[in-house]
Amino acid sequence: MIRDLRKSDAPRVLELLKAGFPEEERLSGTTPEGFHRIVRRVFRWDVQLVLRLLRSFGRPVFRFLVVEEDGRVVATTLLSFPERAGYVSTVTVDAAYRRRGFARALLERAQEVARSAGRKYVVLDVLDQNLPARTLYERIGFRPLATGEFWFCDGAATGIPATSAGIRPFRSSDAKRLLEIAGRAVPPVVQEVLPVRASALEGSGFVDRIFESTTAAWVVDRGHGAEAYLGASVGPTAESAYCSEPIVGDGAGADAAAALVRTAAVWCAGHGFPRIITRARTTNERGRAALLAGGFRPALQSATLYRPVA
């Protein structure tokens, strides 16, 4: 039986996530106390009311689906909703219950949910080394959209002082220019399925409140408007901070882009998170160069796959 997450499922779901994603766990380190606190927060009556209202207006935030078999949760997935796609963040099945079609069933349900929410695609990420999962995804119709890498930066690198280099906090008025820069660097098929939108740059106050996240974002502006962008987020559910994928324009300059990355790293370290992780597409050459110069190193290679919901 596939159903939505219940508050009582939290311990079992955390167990599945830690067992199912060991490589990612080594990078980010899910904290049990923070995970359970956020689950309790999600199930508060006022948060549930807002989530239901948003869903009724065609603006769903997320769905956490589980498979219940033999009276226990044996598989789970998290589905979020960017503008045109249902984004499957996790698919994991208890090792004792694999090869029984539960992963496929979750993905089929995710497609139904995405279609009901008015999305045209379902999207997911898979590590290159996870060949069984990728084989399954491609067998049921997923095809490559983009390739990328997870990157990380540890405390030694975050101690590098940030230079001014025209760096200032992001403003909403920067979004239009930054979207133009990002659009030029994104292949057309990616822009069709996962277009960069202003909401991704500005963040969501409601989602931040649910997950108790603290966020910040900066741009490179040397007097001619925003030329590069990077956002950062910290919260109680992980031992690491998270940075967005860098947006770097042609004229930003390598030193300024690297200083932008170091600014974010210093901010994260100042909030008690010396490790930062991010993900960058292979085609984002300037963003990857900025991460490398700013103290990040690649860790895991991955692919983004998609399929239409029709």
User: pLDDT digits over 249-296, tens only?
Assistant: 988 888 999 999 999 999 999 999 989 999 999 999 999 999 999 999
What is the predicted pLDDT for the residue at 108? 94
pLDDT for the residue 198: 80
The tokens for 231 are: 């956002």
Per-residue CA distances from 166 to 224, 226, 254 (Å):
10, 9, 13
pLDDT(158) > 50 = no
The pLDDT of residue 251? 83
Distance CA 117, CA 123 (A): 14
Q: Which CATH number fits domain 151-300: 3.40.47.10, 3.30.2000.10, 3.40.630.30, 3.40.50.300?
A: 3.40.630.30
Percentage of the chain modeled with pLDDT above 90: 71
- Residue 159, pLDDT > 70, answer no
pLDDT digits (tens, 9 = 90+) for 99-138: 899 999 999 999 999 999 999 999 999 999 999 999 999 9
CB 170 within 8 A of CB 201: yes
Percent of the chain whose pLDDT exceeds 70: 96
Which two tokens mark 127? 């590590």
pLDDT above 50 for 28: yes
Give 266's contacts (C-beta < 8 A, 6+ positions apart). Answer: 158, 159, 160, 161, 162
pLDDT band at 187 (very low <50, low <70, confident <90, very high): confident
Banded pLDDT at 157 (limits 50, 70, 90): low
**Do the domains spanning 2-148 and 151-300 agree at the CATH topology level?**
yes
152 has pLDDT over 90: yes
Calculate the average pLDDT of the chain: 90
- Residue ranges of domains in the chain: 2-148, 151-300
Per-residue model confidence (pLDDT) at position 223: 85
Average pLDDT of the residues in 243-247: 94
Return the pLDDT at 165.
Answer: 63
CATH topology classification for 2-148: Aminopeptidase (3.40.630)
